[in-house]
Chain A
Amino acid sequence: MSSDLYLVEQAKRGDKEAFGYLVEKYEKKIFSLALRICGQREEAEDLAQEIFLKVYQKLNTYQGEAAFSTWLYRVAANTCFDRLRQLKREMSIQKEFNEREFYKKALTPEEEFFNRQEILNIEKALQTLPEDLRLVLLLREQYGLRYEEIAKALSLNLGTVKNRIFRAREKLRKLLMQQGEGGMDSGV
């Protein structure tokens, strides 16, 4: 039994500490996903909380058929999309990438030294991708999920996952190329 599964079993029995560990373990991953999907820090913190509360409520429906993390991402994605719909209705969605929203804490010296501009460029490009494409690409590249896991988490078929990842890459590539040109233009 994986450590996640063990903690889930304990949490199901009402062990609050066990669930606490799970929250601690996944809070950054979930918060990051929420932030990169909705683009706003405050909103993302709210969302992350809501996601974990939902997970706790639904814990009994999780029977260990998939990895806990896959199941968690599924709940996260659904909650994020629900909120996005609401935000779009209220026209309060932020489209532009705002560095301060994302990187309140400074990048680590390593990140700073090696990739600062690259990271910021890609974050910016990501924010202009449609959310569904952004989500599959993040789950694949950043979260390391296999296509099958993504399909399970998002209730999609494999072909759709494959196609969306491709479209996401292609769009992102073009965006980055535009950015490069634009960057050069402004640099000149």
Chain B
Amino acid sequence: MECNEVRELLSAYIDGEVTAEEKKQVERHLQSCAGCREAYGQYVDMGAVLKMLPFLEPDTPLREKVQDKIKYKRNILNRFIWSEWVAVAVAMVLVFALGITAISLSGLTLYPKNEAVEVVRDKAVSVAGGPSEGALPDEQNTGVLPAKSPAKFAPDLTGEEATFKTTSTDERKIVKTASGKLTVKKLEDFDRWLAQELGRVNGYVKFSREEKEIRELTLMIPADKLKSFVDDLKKQGELESYSENAEDVTKAYRDMEIRIKNLESEIAAVRALLIKAQKVEEILAVRAELNRLTEELEITKASFEDLKQNVAYSTLNLKVVKEKTAQIGEDSLFKNLGKKIKEQFVKAFNNFFTVLIKLFFLLIYLLPYLILLLLIIFFVYRFKKKKSGT
């Protein structure tokens, strides 16, 4: 091994920073090399003197000087912290404002708009004062809004329809659907009562499924009798989770009426053509058209009858169970639980992304202010740094 190589190891050897193998190598070399032995001695002597070097004292003790500066720095720091708090407060207000704006934009809460609709609606009903008004239960105002509310309906009217508005908006066409669960003591008593009651109100059973202790029924009750029917129903047992839904189908109703009228007059006109037609082709063409129109009229009339029926009769979906047989699993809360969770999940994500997109647009809108804010923070920071640097 060369002396030069050994010297580096020698240095580490003195500091006790060599491996056992290296230690052996160094010691072996030292035995045979006088030059390195001399260097070793010099290194050790140098080390002894270096270890003896005194730690020198500054002219004035540092403690006070440093502490004075720290006090000063801390004050600046405090001020900065204070201004940071202000910034945090401002940011919070900003975020709060942003959030509110975003939420109102996303249409998550539309209370003010809804209330406005309700007011107009109430007025419309009270002005109309038609027979359906009495049939409207109190819950309806707080319940689900019908698909076509009068407030929206009125401005939609155009041309031809507008003339109908003056002649026939005095009567609202409402389709009511109700559902509930009834717990009774004896199903036989209930069956007997139902037969009697249906006779009284002139209603009928549209669908029924009977099991040992459960009845599932879809009852059609004349709209104006629904209230008295439900009142009587409550006396038969315990009525749970009862809900009513009212759909205003006035527009659809009027549309169908007009359509039927139009079809009828068109058919009359085509019939007149049939009398006048002379060529076979003409007769055939007119008849084909007549057939088409007649068919369409039939279909429209059938749907109109359906709608009329729906308006005239309220649907009541009723589940009747014998007392103590009610099962938690059958409870409405747990029914379709998976589906409900899925729906809520999708709804939540839709809302989330809507808000996110709105927030993004707001961010762009607020960009100039944000840049200004950043600039201010930057300069405050620089000012602070400069101060602390001195």
Interface residues of A (CB under 8 A from B): 16, 19-20, 23-24, 27-32, 35, 41, 44-45, 48-49, 52-53, 56-57, 102-105, 107-108, 111, 115, 118-119, 122-123, 137-138, 140-142, 144, 146-147, 162-163, 165-166, 169-170, 172-173, 176-177
Complex Cα distance A104/B56, Å?
Answer: 9
Complex Cα distance A31/B56, Å?
Answer: 7
Q: Which residue of A lies closest to B53 (CB)?
A: A142
- Asked if residues B49 and A115 are in contact (CB atoms below 8 Å), the reply is yes
Supply 8 A–B pairs (Cβ within 8 Å), ascending by A.
A20-B67, A24-B63, A29-B55, A30-B62, A31-B55, A48-B58, A144-B51, A173-B46
Mostly helix, strand, loop or mixed at chain A's interface? helix
Q: Which of A23, A123, A138 contacts B62 (CB 8 A)?
A: A23
**Nearest CB of chain A from residue B79's CB, rounded to whole Å:** 16
**Nearest CB of chain A from residue B82's CB, rounded to whole Å:** 16
User: Does B34 touch A at the CB level, under 8 Å?
Assistant: no
Complex Cα distance A91/B241, Å?
Answer: 92
- Asked if residues B47 and A141 are in contact (CB atoms below 8 Å), the reply is yes
User: Does B12 touch A at the CB level, under 8 Å?
Assistant: yes
Which residues does chain B contribute within 8 Å of A146, judged by CB atoms? 15, 17
Which residues does chain B contribute within 8 Å of A172, judged by CB atoms? 46
Complex Cα distance A89/B54, Å?
Answer: 30
Render B55-66 as a binary contact track against A, CB cut-off 8 A, 1 for contact: 111111111011
- Asked if residues A23 and B53 are in contact (CB atoms below 8 Å), the reply is no
- Asked if residues B7 and A170 are in contact (CB atoms below 8 Å), the reply is yes
Which residues does chain B contribute within 8 Å of A118, judged by CB atoms? 49
Chain B: residues with Cβ within 8 Å of the partner, total of 35
Which residues does chain A contribute within 8 Å of B126, judged by CB atoms? none
**Nearest CB of chain A from residue B159's CB, rounded to whole Å:** 76
- Asked if residues B55 and A32 are in contact (CB atoms below 8 Å), the reply is yes
Minimum-distance CB pairs A-B, first 8? A141-B50, A166-B11, A28-B55, A166-B8, A27-B62, A52-B66, A32-B55, A31-B58
Which residues does chain A contribute within 8 Å of B66, judged by CB atoms? 19-20, 23, 49, 52-53, 56
User: Does B259 touch A at the CB level, under 8 Å?
Assistant: no
Interface residues of B (CB under 8 A from A): 7-8, 10-12, 15, 17, 39, 42-43, 46-47, 49-63, 65-67, 69-71, 73, 388
Q: Which of A41, A142, A166 contacts B50 (CB 8 A)?
A: A142
- Asked if residues B73 and A53 are in contact (CB atoms below 8 Å), the reply is yes
Most buried by B among A19, A105, A173, A177: A173
Complex Cα distance A27/B64, Å?
Answer: 11
- Asked if residues A45 and B59 are in contact (CB atoms below 8 Å), the reply is yes
- Asked if residues B59 and A41 are in contact (CB atoms below 8 Å), the reply is yes
Which residues does chain B contribute within 8 Å of A35, judged by CB atoms? 56
- Asked if residues B43 and A173 are in contact (CB atoms below 8 Å), the reply is yes
**Nearest CB of chain B from residue A84's CB, rounded to whole Å:** 18
Complex Cα distance A158/B50, Å?
Answer: 22
Complex Cα distance A169/B12, Å?
Answer: 11
**Nearest CB of chain B from residue A18's CB, rounded to whole Å:** 11
Which residues does chain A contribute within 8 Å of B63, judged by CB atoms? 20, 23-24, 27
- Asked if residues A28 and B56 are in contact (CB atoms below 8 Å), the reply is yes
Q: Which residue of A lies closest to B70 (CB)?
A: A56
- Asked if residues B59 and A104 are in contact (CB atoms below 8 Å), the reply is yes
**Nearest CB of chain B from residue A55's CB, rounded to whole Å:** 9
